[in-house]
Structure 1
Amino acid sequence: MYDILYLFKGMLVGLMVSIPLGPMGVLIIQKTLHKGALSGFIAGMGAASADFFYASVAAFGLGYVINTVQTHELLLQIIGGIFLLCIGLKIYFDNPIRQIRQRRQGRVSKTGLLGDYLSLFFLTVSNPITVVVFMAVFAGMSVFGESSSMLGELLVVIGVLLGGGVWWYTLSTLVNIFRKKFRLRVLITINRVSGLVITILGALVILAAFAPFKNLVIH
């Protein structure tokens, strides 16, 4: 019974990591506005799955993975920044009206949903600082304690995934409700602004890889 507390601790950590609206949040909001709640939620689960991966690395102390991530930290951050730049520019120049028409005609394919999931997964997992964030949060919140078991650690990382999933489901559902009240001209403006914001954030991530403030977190 006591081990179940680890699940709730993990969910709290997952919520804490997911709620701050960085570029991932902007991307998920944009996908929800133009493709619907399902697309936004699936994309959010891509980010939550990447968090699950890094939480597992932090919880189980997978030394090889940590060393590999640290060794390629600069490369991963640059790749993530370039990926953000490309996505931001694509969003900026995309036609949201065409996307909305495709959705109304039921043309949101499984391939499209898979793409939403994978794009957010790889964007989030390309930020190696995430594993450090989880290590710090686990330590700061005393998530495991002195008597933690393998089952407790497993429940924590599962909780991280569930907590992230709860947040992205809530966010995509709320955005989808208000989406219906937006006029097309407003959606076009949102598309341009979100694309510009993500492009700028991508540039900052690349710059941060070569600057003293290398701990920029793209989440």
Structure 2
Amino acid sequence: MEEIWVLLQGIVLGFAIAAPVGPIGLLCIRRTLHHGPLMGFFTGFGAAIADTFYGAIAAFGVSTALSFLRGHETAFQLVGGIFLLVVAVRTYRQHPSTQEQEAAPDTKSWFTGFMTGLSLTLTNPATIMAFIAIFAGFGLGGTLDRLEASTLVLGVFLGSSLWWLTLSMGVAAVRHRISDRALAMLNHCTGLALGAFGLWALGMAATGIAGA
């Protein structure tokens, strides 16, 4: 019974951490509209795997990994910021076509979508800090035994995956009601937002380098 409660906590935590609309959420929405729900889901699924990895570090309290992440936070921000800017430019410049969307199979670049979500989340040190803060707030982490920690991590994976499945399927439900003009506007807005995230990450990296 205790394990079920821990699993439910993990699901809630995974869902809550994945749900705020950030770079991956924007990409998931856009790719669902352009290439279908599976493409959008796999983009988010990459983030879910990264969330699970960071959740495991927080749940098991792996001090060596935590020290490494904190010690290389600036490098992660630099790489993540550059990656975000590249994706932002490509997104902004893409011109959608409703007919092309309908002709494009969902199998297009699933792996690319997965790797984008995985890479962007892994290079965001705020993810691990969010897990540590939330785990501490709930009194989790160091007090868990190995079975409970494993159960919690499984819950985080399920909760995060559930969010990305919900988002991609929800967007797919209204996909064919959106015009080419609206999609072009979405590309521009998404590109600008991703660029802002990228510039923020680079700014944080520059601050870290200056303070070193």
Fold-level match, TM-score > 0.5? yes
Residue by residue over 1:33-57, the C-alpha shift from the partner in whole angstroms, topping out at 9 and shown as x without a partner, is: 1111111111111111101000101
Q: Amino acid of the residue matched to residue 201 of structure 1?
A: F
Aligned position for 1:105: 103
Q: Please report the RMSD computed on the Cα atoms of aligned residues, expressed in angstroms.
A: 1.7
What are the ranges of 5 or more consecutive residues in structure 2 without an aligned counterpart? none
Aligned position for 2:84: 84
User: What's the CA shift for 1:142?
Assistant: 2.1
Runs of 4+ in 1 over 4 A off after TM superposition: 100-103
User: What's the CA shift for 1:196?
Assistant: 1.4
Equivalent of 1:151, from 135, 147, 153? Answer: 147
User: What's the CA shift for 1:168?
Assistant: 0.8
Q: How many residues align?
A: 208
* Paired residue secondary structure (1:142): coil
User: What's the CA shift for 1:109?
Assistant: 3.6
User: What's the CA shift for 1:122?
Assistant: 0.6
Q: Amino acid of the residue matched to residue 42 of structure 2?
A: I
What are the ranges of 5 or more consecutive residues in structure 1 without an aligned counterpart? 213-219
User: What's the CA shift for 1:108?
Assistant: 4.2
Report the Cα distance in structure 1 between the residues aligned to 2:9 and 2:25, rounded to whole angstroms. 22
User: What's the CA shift for 1:12?
Assistant: 0.6
Report the Cα distance in structure 2 between the residues aligned to 1:175 and 1:204, rounded to whole angstroms. 27
Aligned position for 1:217: none
The reply on whether 1:121 has 2:118 as its aligned counterpart is yes
User: What's the CA shift for 1:103?
Assistant: 4.7
Report the Cα distance in structure 2 between the residues aligned to 1:67 and 1:143, rounded to whole angstroms. 19
The TM-score with structure 2 as length reference comes to: 0.92
- Given that 2:35 and 2:104 are in contact with CA atoms closer than 8 Å, whether structure 1 keeps it comes out as no
Report the Cα distance in structure 2 between the residues aligned to 1:149 and 1:115, rounded to whole angstroms. 36
Q: Amino acid of the residue matched to residue 198 of structure 2?
A: G
Aligned position for 1:59: 59
Report the Cα distance in structure 1 between the residues aligned to 2:126 and 2:186, rounded to whole angstroms. 29
Percent identity of the aligned residues?
Answer: 35
The TM-score with structure 1 as length reference comes to: 0.89
More helix by share: 2
Report the Cα distance in structure 2 between the residues aligned to 1:154 and 1:198, rounded to whole angstroms. 33
Residue by residue over 1:130-157, the C-alpha shift from the partner in whole angstroms, topping out at 9 and shown as x without a partner, is: 21211110110123584x3211100101
